[in-house]
Structure 1
Amino acid sequence: MTAKIDNTSEAIRKSASPWRKEFFALMTIGLPMAATQLVQFSINIVDVVMIGQLGPTHLAAGGLGLVLFYFLFVAGMGPAVATSPMVSQALGADGDDVRDARRSVRMGLWVVGIAAPICSLVYFFAEEFALMLGQPADVAALAEPYVIALVPGLPFALGVIVLRNFLAAIERARAPLYFIIATTALNTLLNYLLIYGNWGLPRLELVGAGIASSISHAVGFFALVIYINWEARAKRFNLFQRFFNPDWPRFIEVARLGWPISITIGFEAMLFNASLFLVGRIGIDEMAAYQVALNVAAAAFMMPLGLSMAGSVRVGLMAGAKDLQGVRRASVMTLLCSVGAIMAVAIPVMLFPNKIAGFYLDESSPSNTAVLALVVLFLPIAAAFALFDAIQVAAAQALRGLKDVRVPMILTGISYWVIGFPVAAWLGLGTPLGAVGVWWGLLVALLAASITLGWRLWLVTRDPA
């Protein structure tokens, strides 16, 4: 019966129009990648939910710690993400070019493996950095050891992204989903043991959450290494054969393509993180509520992010094959599917903010009353900017599939830091809107990014004639 269904699906694909074929191709790798993104992000959701049981101050410190940690995570994502268009364009030009793909993946792992530990040394000054930015002293003191506990997992988390992008390019996107589900379950168990000190283990609270995340990232990375060395299609690339032999020209190429991507991702990540610092200057309750609302918005963002990452692979394959019509179809389909995915989540968030807020915080606790009220105010605005968030990430990923990274970097910087952040700072600190005004500023930033990046994508994919 299964074989009959598969044969029927294949017949539909062969007889379908180019647009339907593109939809099937995008969904084949996009749905597993989207689900993988969502499940992987759930590690953070689990951390926030379980840390939230310790109280608002710990929740605020956990949010601050994640913000500080993701400064370097985002910096490392550039080289990790850069391997995707390099591999997909090589395979689009020649599906049997295993050597070129292997060089890109191997040196992508080299870049993140070398840079992440060195850059992580700055985290030993996390408390001082947080205090310089005006964060409460008790929150800053709790955040630093949490960040340091997260550090060992950083190169493994980035390595997972490199290997996932490789598997997506060879249409093996499901395996990472299964491994991420397993490591998320492991993270939940370790949180239960190490945060609260169950089963005779020490009660480590925030530090325990950091250790649990680091272990989970490492386990996920090595599971993917084992799978790639076992699975028939992936195995033929011999990714880890003579792994420690340097390939400096490709190393430099990965770094050169990766740094604009890092800055582009960093512009957006720092926008949300800097907004957390703005909210932190208003109050601890506002800071905790911001973290919850941002966690919800980020969870909704994972589906369009995964689909758009798959879209980057599809655009890269078409670009490598010199198929301009295919590039346009892949770009448009990525935009449409990403918007549809995020709105499916954003509408319920807008309609039921109280239920979602209650999932994160104990409604019966008097200490959470003010935080819950603020979360309910923040969530509808976060849901409203979801549309623009989906458009900008789909456009950005399609452009990366074309290796067009420097102009989008500039456009993103203007949208977020010349337009968006000043509006957020003025509304948040200079008007009675307070923390709600910060969220309206974020909406303006994402609107600007969706317009500028969408315009850039239209320019580079239009018919040269």
Structure 2
Amino acid sequence: MEFNSEFRINNYELERSDLTSISIPTLRTEVKEFLHLAVPLASAQVAQSLVGFVDTVMMGHLGWETLAAGGLASITFTTLLQTATGMVMGVSPLVAKAYGAGDKLRIKQVVRQGLWLSLVLAVPMMLLIGHLDKLMLQLGQVSATVTLADTYLDIMLWAMFPVLGFAVLRGLVSGVSQARPIMAIVIGGTLFNIVGNYILGYGKLGFPKLGLTGLALASTATFWGMFLALALYILIHPQLKSLRIFQTIDWLKPSLIRELLWIGAPIGISAALEFGQVNAVTYMMGTLGTDVLAAHQIVFQTGLINFMLPLGMSYAATVRVGQWLGKQNLEGVQKAGYVSMFFGGGVMVLMAITLITFSRQVIGLYLDVNDLANASIVAIAMPMFTVVAVQLIFEGVQRTAYGALQGLQDTRVPMLLGFLAFWGAGLLSSYMLGYSFNLGGMGLLIGEVMGIATAAGFFIWRFRQLISKYTTFDC
């Protein structure tokens, strides 16, 4: 047998002669390096999601009407935020590949243009968020709920740029295998947010009780603080300081912006498709009643925290696969991809079991489960947790598989596959099960799970297709 002499992914070539000059990674080494990145990145994502979790818990204690309105605003903002964040995610695989190739100049150029892209994207997103109240009314949401939600969104829109800028800087820091500071900064920001929410939301230490407005102010300040803290870390860390990211301001480079968008735009669209499916389900929940919407918000926010674990792992998968691509090591690419998928699915099995076992206790974090006024919400939310637990397992696999594809800079085909999965299998199933089969909120959630499971299968197939295509043997 003879190894095929050429390996090509997105016009990236690896000649056979290079294979003999690069190290072959062991499984144990890859697991160690993956966990070195995945643990702090996943921890940071969970900690960052606690900003929304804390908001939701405090919304619940302000009243279930506030919880419903805040939940509607939160999922809407999250959908737009994840879409915009995906657009700048091209920074991560490009930095990882440049780091693997030892190209410091390329790293600096990519990050600077990524920050410009963040600013360019933030402005129209802020304008869109500022006018979402009219759209929510047209989609059949209760007027009182929209009014409360709009109060929250009008403040949160100012967090758009720092969140995007943080994503760019995170792509730099994780791309050069320096992920632990991200975890520390995000945990610090989360603690600040908890205190700020308590003071401003409930009116403590002499401040007026601002409710949703106070929660939004604290969260916005938190996002700005995390962005500035990570920028400061880059300025003082010896290795990162040598890159001189902030020494001068580069003007927009259309060619590099196009390259970032060539990779990032499909990621953003894919995020819009996935979160758009969740958003659509949330709006459909709203048509079934405020109690169903409030129950779904509890389940959604809890699932979102768990979702952050595979999301953080997917960032590690992108970096590891991208670094091996930069080193022109095909076996490293394979092992990095499969290791990430194994951990993504395995960890979420454990989280699913935990969620099912302690679902009533989790609901108790948001509402008083012994209060008869909340009985209908508790009754609706309990079975929803079982469905979401199953969803998390598929989520763990599909997110890490998608992260591996990003590392290969393969984003356009997965975008199309995501459309078929989330808006074909998923949203169509939600509508039919929820309305045609009269399963209500449970039917809507089951359809959502079907979309995520389909995406997981598609992304694994795509990764295997790429790898098998470029590791053929001629007998």
Same fold (TM > 0.5): yes
Does residue 229 of structure 1 match 2:235? yes
1:120 to 2:126 alignment = yes
- Partners of 1:30 and 1:307 within 8 A in 2: yes
Q: Indicate yes or no: 2:373 matched with 1:367.
A: yes
Kindly state the Cα deviation for residue 251 of structure 1 after the two structures are TM-superposed. Answer: 1.9
1:159-214 residue CA offsets vs partner (Å, 9 max, x unmatched): 11111121111111000111111111111111111111111212211111111111
Letter in 2 for 1:72: L
Question: Which residue of structure 1 aligns with residue 137 of structure 2?
Answer: 131
Counterpart of 1:73 in structure 2 is 81
Q: How does 1:5-404 map to 2 (within 5 A)?
A: 18-92=26-100, 94-95=101-102, 97-404=103-410
Question: In the aligned structure 2, how far is the partner of 1:255 from the partner of 1:447?
Answer: 27
Deviation of the 1:405 alpha carbon: 0.4
Residue pair 2:95, 2:176 contacting (<8 A) in 1 also: no
3-state SS, counterpart of residue 331 of structure 2: helix
Confirm or deny: 8 A CA contact 1:103 1:247 kept in the other structure. Answer: no
Match of 1:407?
413
The residue type paired with residue 383 of structure 1 is: A
Instruction: Tell whether the 8 Å contact from 2:88 to 2:261 is kept in structure 1 after alignment.
Output: no
CA distance in 1, matches of 2:167, 2:349: 25
Name the aligned partner's letter for residue 219 of structure 1.
G
Measure how far apart 1:77 and its partner are. 1.2
Partners of 1:420 and 1:444 within 8 A in 2: yes
Q: Secondary structure at the match of 2:33?
A: helix
The amino acid across from 1:35 in the alignment is: S
Long gaps (5+) in structure 2: 1-23
Q: Distance in 2 between matches of 1:252 and 1:184?
A: 34
Matched residue count: 449
Q: After superposition, what is the alpha-carbon deviation per residue over 1:15-67, rounded to whole angstroms, capped at 9, x for unaligned? A: x9700000001011111001001101111100000111011110011111112
2:131 is paired with a residue whose SS is helix
State the partner residue of 1:8: none
Inter-partner Cα distance in structure 2 for 1:426 and 1:158: 36
Which one-letter code corresponds to 2:269 in the other structure?
Answer: I
User: Counterpart in 1 of 2:445?
Assistant: 439
**Distance of 1:344 and 1:419 partners within structure 2:** 26
Counterpart CA distance in 2 for 1:138 and 1:431 is: 30
1:366 Cα deviation from its structure 2 partner: 2.6
Do the aligned partners of 1:89 and 1:316 also contact (CA within 8 Å) in 2? Answer: yes
Aligned-residue offset at 1:385 = 1.6
Distance apart, 1:247 and its partner CA: 2.6
Q: Equivalent pairs: percent with the same residue?
A: 31
Q: CA RMSD in A?
A: 1.5
CA shift for structure 1 position 277: 0.6
Contact persistence 2:96–2:322 (CA under 8 A): yes
- Whether the aligned pair in 1 keeps the contact of 2:25 and 2:331 (CA below 8 Å) is no
Residue 365 of structure 1 deviates from its aligned partner by: 2.7
CA deviation after TM superposition for structure 1 residue 244, in Å:
4.6
Structure 1 residue identity aligned to 2:66: H
Structure 1 residue 252: deviation in Å? 2.2
Gapped regions of structure 1 (runs ≥ 5):
1-15
Contact 1:319 1:402 in 2 (8 A): yes
TM-aligned CA deviation for residue 248 of structure 1: 2.7
Which residue of structure 2 lines up, in the alignment, with residue 13 of structure 1? Answer: none
In the TM superposition, what is the alpha-carbon distance from 1:137 to its structure 2 partner?
Answer: 1.2
Cα deviations by residue, 1:51-106 (Å, 9 ceiling, x for unpaired): 110111100111111122123212211232110001011111x22x1110111111
CA contact (8 A) 1:126 1:143 kept: no
Amino acid at match of 1:28: H
- Say if 2:190 and 2:222, in contact at 8 Å, map to a contact too: yes
Pair 1:261–1:17, CA change in 2 (3 A):
closer
Q: What secondary structure is seen at the aligned counterpart in 1 of 2:46?
A: helix
Letter in 2 for 1:176: I
- Taking the aligned partners of 1:46 and 1:238, their CA distance within structure 2 comes to 36
SS of the aligned residue for 2:89 comes to: helix
TM-score of the aligned structures, taking structure 1 as reference length: 0.94
**Aligned 8 A contact 2:80 2:272 in 1:** no
Find the aligned partners of 1:75 and 1:83 in 2 and give their Cα distance: 15
Within 1, Cα distance between the matches of 2:420 and 2:169?
Answer: 32
Once the two structures are superposed, residues 396-423 of structure 1 have per-residue CA deviations (whole angstroms, 9 ceiling, x without a partner) of 1100000100000000000111111111
CA contact (8 A) 1:98 1:236 kept: no
Q: Secondary structure of 1:200's match?
A: coil
Q: Quick check: 2:73–2:149 contact (8 Å CA) kept in 1?
A: yes
SS at match of 1:81: coil
Q: CA deviation at 1:341?
A: 1.6
